[in-house]
Amino acid sequence: MKTTGANPGSDDDDEALRWAGDDLRGGIDPLTRNRVAEVSASSLDDEMDAAPATPTSLARTAATALFAVLYLAIVVGWILSVQITGSSASDLFSQVAWQFGEFVAIIAGALWYLAVLTLTPDSRTAVRVGWFALGVGVLLPWPILLVLTS
């Protein structure tokens, strides 16, 4: 084994980081080997971090499809609901405004679904499902549900 003491003319710090036999193992000293290992590990971490950025798991697809059915039911529910709701107002502006309100209530389900779909492409599955579930709760077509359950 080569020691720093045996080589008084050379730089002590450099020599301290070298071992006899390094040349036989490909000429890579322990520090360099560790740096290579760190770079490999960090690139592996990057890959693991990048994976959820474009989640395409089966659960996510299944949840998206399930909520598509639920939101379709909500739209149908609101189409039925506006048949049984009505405005007592007689003036034209109130009538038009009421009709507009009914129309946007019908398309609310479709809008909410499309918004979640387009605005959460990179979000975690739980976040997307949370927004979908919130929409179902907010947009329940109570007018028709109350008639059906009474």
Partner 1 sequence: MSTGVVSTGVVSRVVVWVVFAVLYAYPLFEGISNLIALPPYYAANGIGAAVPWWLLIIGIAAPVLLYLAALVLGRGRELFPRTLILAVGLAAANALVLSAVSWASAVQPALKG
Nearer to partner 1 by Cβ, of 16 and 84: the residue is: 84
* 136/117 Cα distance (integer angstroms): 14
Contact between 50 and 122 (Cβ < 8 Å): no
Nearer to partner 1 by Cβ, of 22 and 102: the residue is: 102
The pattern of x and - marking residues 101 through 140 that bind partner 1 according to CB under 8 A reads xx-xx-xx--xx-xx--xx---------------x--xxx
* 136/105 Cα distance (integer angstroms): 13
- Taken in order 34, 39, 44, 49, is the CA torsion positive or negative? positive
Nearer to partner 1 by Cβ, of 19 and 111: the residue is: 111
* 61/136 Cα distance (integer angstroms): 18
Contacts 24+ apart (CB under 8 A), 23-30: none
Contacts of 74 (CB under 8 A, 6+ apart): 108, 109, 136, 139, 140, 141
Q: How far is the CB of 133 from partner 1 (least distance, A)?
A: 14
The pattern of x and - marking residues 30 through 69 that bind partner 1 according to CB under 8 A reads ----------------------------------------
Q: Which of 100, 121, 124, 126 binds partner 1 (CB under 8 A)?
A: 100
Q: Tell me which residues touch partner 1 (CB under 8 A).
A: 78, 81-82, 85, 97, 100-102, 104-105, 107-108, 111-112, 114-115, 118-119, 135, 138-143, 146, 150
